[in-house]
Structure 1
Amino acid sequence: MRKALLLAAAVLALSAGTALAQKKQLVIVVKGLDNPFFEAINQGCQKWNRENPDSEYECFYTGPASTSDEAGEAQIVQDMLSKPDTAAIAISPSNAKLIAQTLRTANPTIPVMTVDADLAPEDSELRQTYLGTDNYLMGQRIGEYIKKAKPEGGKICLILGNPGADNILRRAQGTRDVLTGQEGLTELNGEGGWTEVAGCPVFTNDDGAKGVQAMTDILAANPDLDAFALEGGWPLFGAPQPYRDLFRPMADRIASNDFVISAADTIGEEVAIAREGLVTALVGQRPFEMGYKAPQVMLDLIAGKPVEDPVYTGLDECTKDTVDTCIQK
């Protein structure tokens, strides 16, 4: 009898495991699992799973261990596309051109979309929609805070992430366009009163500690620097204490707009840092919403329903005076 019961239990467990394994996967591939921003996307993905336990689909979140591993992300995309249970895929390309090449080689038959970061415009036919931030608008808002504080211009350094990340490049373009009143400049040399100092922009590969060190070096080499534009919040949420240590002595200058720091995102310690007056403004995204909405967008694509392109998730802006009401994550 005992053997029969054990055998029955084993069969039930195997059946349950098989049923779980047979769930079709709505895959989200992010730039790196070491970034709190992407963990917020994962939390949205998992909320969707909790709310849809009986669905034949599940949201599956993955990515390389580090945001600097562009080749690793491309390999994961390739692997996910080769799996028979992958029903659709949403990708945040760390290197837009590399992911585009990967998609062309794989020639997937399932729906492909981008989330958080998009492909370059000339490769947009490789995906069906983009879900996430209007990155050009975000860059404009980052620039507007700087321009408002320093209407006559000054010396500035832009802090960027991965050189091949389309979302970051769009933000940088938005910032430069707002500061100068011109479109398309890739470097500022006095236009609108603004000049990018030598060594800038700085590419940090989304590494907070590297970002703080770069800002330290730029300040040391340029004591007359007027502003930083952080197109991602990596130094604040990735290395909050070193960031505080660097800018606490400059708190009075930041408060008086003698020195300006306009930064992306409102995650981790960023809102607390704004409350402390160590950043002029934060322009935040909604990564949780991206992760929560992505599965439904993929299901709509699978069903052949019309889906807007792009699908924007909005921005949230915080200053020292508004931190109690600004939205975090």
Structure 2
Amino acid sequence: MRKSLLLVAAAALALGAGPALAKKQLVIVVKGLDNPFFEAINQGCQKWNSENASSEYECFYTGPASTSDEAGEAQIVQDMLGKADTAAIAISPSNAKLIAQTIKTANPSVPVMTLDADLAAEDAALRKTYLGTDNYLMGFKIGEYIKKGKPNGGTICTIEGNTGADNILRRAQGMRDALTGQKGLAALKGEGGWTEVAGCPVFTNDDGAKGVQAMTDILAANPKLDAFGIMGGWPLFGAPQPYRDLFGPYKEKIASNEFVIGAADTIGDEVAIAGEGLVTALVGQRPFEMGYKAPSVMINLIEGKPVEDPVFTGLDECTKDTVSTCIQK
């Protein structure tokens, strides 16, 4: 009997029915697992896995628990680049300079690309391509909506995320350029009629509650403030009810453009908030598409196929009047 079982096992191995070989990993490292935006990237990654079950590759999604843990993300990147089964890596840098230094130190032999957020221009040679939003254009469109609402300018506060996040910095630059008609201004001091109030920009580390509290404080200190430019949707999707509580009393002013709010993203409750008239306009990204496309781009890089740089995923624009049709299906 024992001999028969051994023969069956040997025959099964000969037919390729032995233990499945571990798949090569197409790693996606995001800024933090606590952010619904990045969960949408994960859903795209898992969709790719479900459609490519027979592939030798697997999309593997990871990141630090919190978007505020820049050092944690850098450590994960270092660890992933040291693993034998990592075939390629796509990184959304929370701190562009820190991730660039991590890549330099690791000196990886596998393809590296960026996703959602890029490295600074001077470090772009460290990655093969960038896949995600045209962040400057996104900020520029936010600025256009604010300017349309207040064509003569006014006072504004910019809400940003992490101080070293290249994507957020590009959005803020695009917004300032759209508002003023000038390029490269680091702060607005009357150009185009716009002035950034004291204490702004505010950096919130992608924390929704912190963003709402910051806006509460800015409004208390500047009761005649004319606008907010929110470079990530954290206050709206991360703390939707506090956001509603804060801006509910401003609903009529927002409707008449006496007060203007331009914000990034169309995640979670954001589109509903736009429908309620509590934000002037949203300019949204397509994170699911980023996660879904990233594995295929990484495989092309592994195989030495030509890949464009950058690869943009498009934008969605939502106002109160367009909420039913503003998101790409």
**TM-score normalised to structure 2 length:** 0.95
| CA deviation vs aligned residue, 1:140-173 (integer Å, no higher than 9, x gap) | 0000000000000000000000000000000000
- Which SS does the other structure have where 1:205 is aligned? coil
- Which SS does the other structure have where 1:75 is aligned? helix
Report the Cα distance in structure 2 between the residues aligned to 1:272 and 1:328, rounded to whole angstroms: 16
Q: In the TM superposition, what is the alpha-carbon distance from 1:326 to its structure 2 partner? A: 1.1
Contact 1:97 1:120 in 2 (8 A): yes
- Aligned match of 1:111: 111
Report the Cα distance in structure 2 between the residues aligned to 1:114 and 1:58, rounded to whole angstroms: 18
Q: 1:174 to 1:16 in 2, by over 3 A?
A: farther
- 1:327 aligned onto 2:327: yes
Report the Cα distance in structure 2 between the residues aligned to 1:261 and 1:46, rounded to whole angstroms: 34
RMSD between superposed Cα atoms in Å = 2.0
| CA deviation vs aligned residue, 1:164-185 (integer Å, no higher than 9, x gap) | 0000000000000111111110
Q: In the TM superposition, what is the alpha-carbon distance from 1:18 to its structure 2 partner? A: 5.2
- Aligned match of 1:23: 23
Contact 1:160 1:231 in 2 (8 A): yes
Contact 1:24 1:58 in 2 (8 A): yes
Q: 1:103-252, aligned counterparts within 5 Å? A: 103-252=103-252
- 1:258 aligned onto 2:226: no
Runs of 4+ residues over 4 Å off in structure 1: 15-18
- Which SS does the other structure have where 1:28 is aligned? strand
Contact 1:271 1:328 in 2 (8 A): no
Q: In the TM superposition, what is the alpha-carbon distance from 1:30 to its structure 2 partner? A: 0.1
- Aligned match of 2:299: 299
Report the Cα distance in structure 2 between the residues aligned to 1:74 and 1:18, rounded to whole angstroms: 34
Contact 1:267 1:328 in 2 (8 A): no
What letter corresponds to residue 19 of structure 1 in structure 2?
A: A
Q: Which runs of 5+ in 1 are unaligned?
A: none
Report the Cα distance in structure 2 between the residues aligned to 1:17 and 1:317, rounded to whole angstroms: 51
| CA deviation vs aligned residue, 1:115-149 (integer Å, no higher than 9, x gap) | 00000000000000000000000000000000000
Q: In the TM superposition, what is the alpha-carbon distance from 1:17 to its structure 2 partner? A: 9.8
What letter corresponds to residue 52 of structure 2 in structure 1?
A: N
Question: Number of aligned pairs?
Answer: 324
- Which SS does the other structure have where 1:19 is aligned? coil
- Aligned match of 1:57: 57
Q: 1:9-20, aligned counterparts within 5 Å? A: 19=20
Q: 1:286 to 1:16 in 2, by over 3 A?
A: farther
Report the Cα distance in structure 2 between the residues aligned to 1:267 and 1:147, rounded to whole angstroms: 24
Contact 1:24 1:85 in 2 (8 A): yes
Report the Cα distance in structure 1 between the residues aligned to 2:18 and 2:77, rounded to whole angstroms: 25
| CA deviation vs aligned residue, 1:79-109 (integer Å, no higher than 9, x gap) | 0000000000000000000000000000001
- Which SS does the other structure have where 2:20 is aligned? helix
What letter corresponds to residue 276 of structure 2 in structure 1?
A: E
Report the Cα distance in structure 2 between the residues aligned to 1:206 and 1:293, rounded to whole angstroms: 24
- Which SS does the other structure have where 1:157 is aligned? strand
Q: Which runs of 5+ in 2 are unaligned?
A: none
Q: 1:214 to 1:16 in 2, by over 3 A?
A: farther
- Which SS does the other structure have where 2:131 is aligned? strand
Q: In the TM superposition, what is the alpha-carbon distance from 1:19 to its structure 2 partner? A: 2.3
Report the Cα distance in structure 2 between the residues aligned to 1:112 and 1:257, rounded to whole angstroms: 44
Q: 1:72-91, aligned counterparts within 5 Å? A: 72-91=72-91
- Which SS does the other structure have where 2:27 is aligned? strand
Q: 1:164 to 1:327 in 2, by over 3 A?
A: same
Work out the percentage of aligned pairs sharing the same amino acid.
84
Q: 1:24 to 1:17 in 2, by over 3 A?
A: farther
**TM-score normalised to structure 1 length:** 0.95
Q: 1:18 to 1:162 in 2, by over 3 A?
A: farther
- Aligned match of 1:268: 268
Report the Cα distance in structure 2 between the residues aligned to 1:313 and 1:52, rounded to whole angstroms: 21
| CA deviation vs aligned residue, 1:237-283 (integer Å, no higher than 9, x gap) | 00000000000011000000000000000010000000000000000
Report the Cα distance in structure 1 between the residues aligned to 2:248 and 2:184, rounded to whole angstroms: 35
What letter corresponds to residue 141 of structure 1 in structure 2?
A: K
Q: 1:31 to 1:328 in 2, by over 3 A?
A: farther
Report the Cα distance in structure 2 between the residues aligned to 1:118 and 1:320, rounded to whole angstroms: 31
- Which SS does the other structure have where 1:326 is aligned? coil
